[in-house]
Amino acid sequence: PDRALRHHGKTTLLDMLIHATHPTLKGGGLARGATPRAQREGATAVDLERKQSAASRRAHDPDRAFREVRYLDSRQDEQQRGITIKASPITLVLPTLRGKSFAVNLCDSPGHIAFADEAAAALRLADGVLLCVDALEGVLLHTEHLIRQAVQQGLRVVLVLTKLDRLVTELRLPPADAYHKLRHTIDRVNALLAEAAVGRSAPAGSGGALSGGAADDATQAAAPPRVDPRDGSVVFTAALF
């Protein structure tokens, strides 16, 4: 089966963040210690990336398969199957545009619905969610489940639209059509956020009329969460191009 149908790009996103903060790092397996085979495979992938551009990799690969380093997929079965099975945490020091740096704790959780328990456990530890959605595939069933769980736990959701290059290299969409497809995905996520927020009541003990700042807080709490590129809650990425 086509691997593109089984991945939303979250592990590749973490690969890019790790590579950006650790440019001299070679090989995979940071979380629990990679097997020698995984280390060799990771080193080979890094060397290949240094020698070939993304365009040439795709041009010479008839299966259009991108070989990821997959740093956090440190288990041998994860490397062999090409999927994340166990949630893996990592702390990275990431800079801001204002010259400050923050230690950010990230957790790469499984995206396959068969390992939904790992994703649910990761949500219990998180303060927010980076929701990775393939720009071509759109919102899938497991994505809907994750959105509901995130809203129920009061977590802020940031939508990361990945693999924008597929809209050009595979669908060959003109800019206007690509815009409408991306907007449809964002609208779908906002609709799911609104549906998940239905039934959430105002804070307990607020009986009677509220006034002043308390009323504003209650109104803000009752408003369904939304993602919008204008406030930075939607991010657009393309790992290959």
Pairing status of strand 234-236 against strand 156-162: parallel
For 69-100, how does the pLDDT look when each residue is reduced to its tens digit (9 = 90+)?
777 777 777 677 767 778 888 899 999 889 89
Most confident range, picked from 15-29, 52-66, 97-111: 97-111
- Rounded CA-CA distance 196/176 in Å is 30
For 183-218, how does the pLDDT look when each residue is reduced to its tens digit (9 = 90+)?
999 999 999 999 999 856 444 444 545 555 555 554
Query: Minimal CA–CA distance to 135: which of 107, 98, 101, 168?
Result: 168
- Rounded CA-CA distance 27/29 in Å is 7
- The arithmetic mean of pLDDT across residues 108-133, rounded, is 85
Decide if pLDDT at 61 tops 60: no
CB under 8 Å to 239, separation ≥6 — which residues?
A: 9, 12, 13, 15, 16, 66, 162, 163, 165
Most confident range, picked from 26-40, 48-62, 71-85, 214-228: 71-85
The strands making up 156-162's β-sheet, listed across from edge to edge, are 128-134, 156-162, 234-236
At 48 the pLDDT is 41
Q: How confident is the model at residue 3 (pLDDT cuts 50, 70, 90)?
A: very low
The rounded percent of the chain whose pLDDT value lies above 70 is 66
The CA–CA distances, whole Å, from 235 to 92, 181, 183 equal: 19, 15, 13
Q: How confident is the model at residue 33 (pLDDT cuts 50, 70, 90)?
A: very low
At 202 the pLDDT is 46
Decide if pLDDT at 111 tops 50: yes
Query: Minimal CA–CA distance to 156: which of 236, 230, 227, 229?
Result: 227
At 40 the pLDDT is 43
